[in-house]
């Protein structure tokens, strides 16, 4: 059945089986039911799929129209939704190539890499689960079904549970359950929309997107400004998350007793926005700034990073032993 990729009936598209494919996974990623897949592929044994086998996948009857917030996109798709996808991928640190609205091979590779990072089916097809993991709200809540005052709508992603969400958004499991009467905390579904109590802290910015090296845009500008205000030098405030910004993030995370991974998630954002982290003690002379040594540092590496010289660093740090830098040692670096 369907050994020829061109023999699929109207209303369906050819698909070649890949490693790990099952009818359940394909139905989920293409927004169709397993029954529809079976009907479109008479004679195909769903328990004996093999790599390279050609099957037919029905066009989804439930796929949102192109004006939907989360349309299904795949290789060959074009338009404004593809441009939005490409921007989101780039913000997450996955390079889709040009932001040109064309879903080509490079965009597909970026999608697959992102899906793997989120433990989603790495099929290169952007459905509701992938949009949701990218931070898009794909819910279709009716106008009367809104979250109560003091809460905001949140769409469940892979791996979410009430404890994790409470920790992420500075609330409690009890408060989440209270805001969602009738919700089964042990059976959250990807794409399900729940209400999360807003943090009482006016400086909470845990809803800001996750940033990492390679991210760009206004949120990176905000990150750089907050790092600079906190006494951690990110370099130029240019909206580009480069090496120097990453180093400043790691130094800040160390001071805040956070995981030192250089990735700015909800916990790092909250620590930055609360502004209660003590920066390195600033006993440095005018024209320099304090820097806390991290693993792998050398004066040569620090000099290159901050566009100065080893000799200048030694000059403003009398008595420093360049061959015996200590992790968390604070030195002065010329601006």
Which CATH number goes with the domain that contains 87?
A: 1.10.101.10
Q: How many angstroms separate the CA atoms of 69 and 288, rounded?
A: 48
Give 64 or 314, the one with higher predicted confidence. Answer: 314
The first and second tokens of residue 18, run together, are 């890949």
Sign of the CA dihedral running 179, 182, 187, 189: negative
The reported pTM is 0.32
Would you say residue 111 has pLDDT above 90? yes
The mean pLDDT value for 275-282 works out to 59
The mean pLDDT value for 272-296 works out to 71
Does residue 311 form part of some domain? yes
pLDDT, tens digit (0-9, with 9 covering 90-100), for 245-277: 998 898 888 777 788 889 998 888 888 877 656
Does residue 138 form part of some domain? no
CATH number of the domain bearing residue 176: 3.10.350.10
The mean pLDDT value for 81-92 works out to 88
Closest CA to 266 of 195, 208, 199: 208
On whether both 85 and 129 belong to a single domain, the answer is yes
List phi, psi (to 5°) of 78. Answer: -145, 160
The total number of structural domains that make up the chain = 5
């Amino acid at each position: 059945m369907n050994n020829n990729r061109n023999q699929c009936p109207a209303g369906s598209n050819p698909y070649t089986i890949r490693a790990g494919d099952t009818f359940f996974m394909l139905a989920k990623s293409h927004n169709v039911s397993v029954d529809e897949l079976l009907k479109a592929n008479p004679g195909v044994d769903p328990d004996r799929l093999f790599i390279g086998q050609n099957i037919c996948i029905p066009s989804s009857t439930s796929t949102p129209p192109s004006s939907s917030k989360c349309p299904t996109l795949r290789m060959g798709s074009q338009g404004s939704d593809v441009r939005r996808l490409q921007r989101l991928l780039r913000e997450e640190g996955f390079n889709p190539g040009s932001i040109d609205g064309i879903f080509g091979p490079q965009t597909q590779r970026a999608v697959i890499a992102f899906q793997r990072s989120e433990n989603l089916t790495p099929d290169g097809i952007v459905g509701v689960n992938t949009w949701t993991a990218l931070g898009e709200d794909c819910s279709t809540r009716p106008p009367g079904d809104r979250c109560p005052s003091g809460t905001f709508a949140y769409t469940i992603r892979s791996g979410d549970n009430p404890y994790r969400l409470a920790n992420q958004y500075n609330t409690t499991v009890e408060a989440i359950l209270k805001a969602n009467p009738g919700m089964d905390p042990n059976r959250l579904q990807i794409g399900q929309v729940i209400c999360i109590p807003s943090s009482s802290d006016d400086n909470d910015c845990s809803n800001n997107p996750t940033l990492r090296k390679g991210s760009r845009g206004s949120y990176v500008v905000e990150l750089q400004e907050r790092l600079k205000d906190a006494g951690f030098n990110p370099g130029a405030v240019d909206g580009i998350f480069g090496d120097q910004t990453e180093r400043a993030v790691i130094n800040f995370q160390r001071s805040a007793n956070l995981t030192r991974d250089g990735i700015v998630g909800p916990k790092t954002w909250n620590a930055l926005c609360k502004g209660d982290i003590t920066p390195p003690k600033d006993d440095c002379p005018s024209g320099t700034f304090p820097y806390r040594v991290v693993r792998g540092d050398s004066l040569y590496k620090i000099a290159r990073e901050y566009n100065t010289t080893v000799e200048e660093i030694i000059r403003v740090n009398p008595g420093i032993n360049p061959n015996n830098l200590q992790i968390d040692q604070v030195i002065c670096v010329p601006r």
